[in-house]
Amino acid sequence: MGSPATVLRRALGWREGAALTVASVLGSGVLYLPALTAQLAGPGGLLAWIGMAVLVIPLALTLGRLAVAVPDAGGVAAFARAAFGDRGGVVAGWLFLGTVPVAAPIAALIGAGFMRAALGLSPSVVVPTAALLLLVAVVLNALGIEISGKTATAVVALIAALLLAAIVVGARRVQASAFQPVLPHGLAPVGLSMALLFWAFVGWEALAHYAEEFKDPSRDLRRSIVVSIVVIDVLYLLLAAVTVGTGSYRGAQGAAALAVMLGNGLGGWAALATAVLALLVTYGTVHAYVGGFARLIYAQARAQDFPAYYGVLHPQWRTPVRVLVTLGAVFALVFTWDVVHPFRLEGLLTWSSGIFIAIYVLAMLAALRLLPERTSRVLAAAALLLCLAIWPFLSWAGLYPFALVGAGLAARWRQESRRNLTNQRDATIRRM
């Protein structure tokens, strides 16, 4: 079983698992994508939401089945290692290494920016607020999986309550005429909307990093995925439908359609509710991803792909605290860079999406090798086709994953070369 300093604590049930999954998927995209897709495609934007809501089901189910088959904190890296050997694990690990340390601060900056706009605050509050969100995520993830799981559950409950409030209030003002014509700009904007919506549906893989910490992985992992699919699809589709039906995406305030709908029911409290929602959805995402990424690095260190220093857990909290401390330092560097040279968030989101698509392609290829059931293989093939169909829309950003893969394989080759030289030297000494 290993010592307490190297074994993760089994304390999660399906409720906490579902909350962590919903938190990782239901991110900042919910704040602006319903309005953006409606502006691009009119009522046809709903077709994009429905299409993505259906198409991600095989992706999510396949990742859940892989987590049951390979319950390892390495997540996709563990799947790739089991399917393709050590180099597969290295490739997946480096793909994550190239996105989460930057994507988490980006998500925090987006949420803090929405909060600032909703409350009319100075731009100077954005970076400190984003940094505080990540600091809280690092600390709560360090204090143990029980606290982390309960935090995710509470955050998701509050997010759902606020979104449902916006949906209920908006539903009273929905007009049938708002859904006509269905395709005012043709089919092309619907396809573009689907490519943009991929960002709103990434995050399913995060659950796999917690697989070792479930009380009953074979039962609770499946329930977590199914429940999270239902919650996410229902909330997204209802919100998108109400956004179109109320016409709140039109005009100068179109980008703030969610705030407009909340304002119709909450009046003067709308700005505060929008700010709180922005912070909650952002925090939920970074909370789940910080915890998942820390476990990935811990698992990769355990497999000797990353420095052994990170393969040790805190003796009391049983969490990868060393990884979390290092990750916090990286976040500080990212925020410092943003202060000196502000990021172009749209471009960085595209590059991050490219890596996630590459991660899902690798996971689906692993599923085709590891999952023997015909249903599982059909689901994996369908999800693989979805990812490959979206990849070309990324343009040059689609090449970034290949650069990371090359860097990872080069690092692995240098590590193996040093190891072989050491073994040869030791063998020579023994012969002497």
Q: Which residues, 6+ apart, have CB-to-CB distance to 73 below 8 Å?
A: 8, 209, 210, 211, 212, 213, 295, 296, 298, 299
What one-character-per-residue DSSP string does 253-310 give? TGGGHHHHHHHHHHGGGHHHHHHHHHHHHHHHHHHHHHHHHHHHHHHHHHTTSS-GGG
**Structure tokens given for 254:** 């179109």
More confident call, 371 vs 413:
371
Residue 419 is inside which H or E element, if any? helix 400-431
Nearest CA-CA partner of 36 in 255, 247, 251, 219: 255
Residue 393: pLDDT above 90?
no
Confidence of residue 4 (pLDDT cuts 50, 70, 90): very low
* CA gap 67, 205 in Å, rounded: 9
| Interval 400-424: pLDDT, tens | 888 888 887 887 787 777 777 777 7
Domain ranges within the chain, ordered by starting residue: 14-403
Contact between 94 and 305 under an 8 Å Cβ cutoff? The reply is no
Which pLDDT belongs to residue 347? 61
- The model carries a pTM of 0.88
Q: Domain 14-403 adopts which CATH fold? A: Amino acid/polyamine transporter I (1.20.1740)
Peptide bond into 101 cis (omega under 30): no
**12: region left, alpha or beta (phi > 0 left; psi from -120 to 50 alpha):** beta
Averaged pLDDT, 282-297 = 93
Confidence of residue 1 (pLDDT cuts 50, 70, 90): very low
Averaged pLDDT, 274-288 = 90
Which pLDDT belongs to residue 197? 85
Q: How many residues does the chain have?
A: 432
Rounded to the nearest integer, the mean pLDDT of the chain is 87
Share of the chain above pLDDT 70, in %: 91
Half-sphere exposure of 247 (CA within 13 A, CB side): 10
**Structure tokens given for 223:** 């329930």
Per DSSP, helices labelled H in 371-399 are 374-390
Phi, psi of 214 (to 5 degrees): -85, 145
Assign 3-state DSSP to the chain and report helix, strand, coil percentages, each to 5: 80, 0, 15
Which pLDDT belongs to residue 170? 85
- Rg over alpha carbons for the chain, rounded to the nearest Å, is 22
Residue 299: pLDDT above 60?
yes
| Interval 148-159: pLDDT, tens | 999 999 999 999
Question: Looking at 56-60, 210-214, 276-280, 320-324, which range is the least confident one?
Answer: 276-280
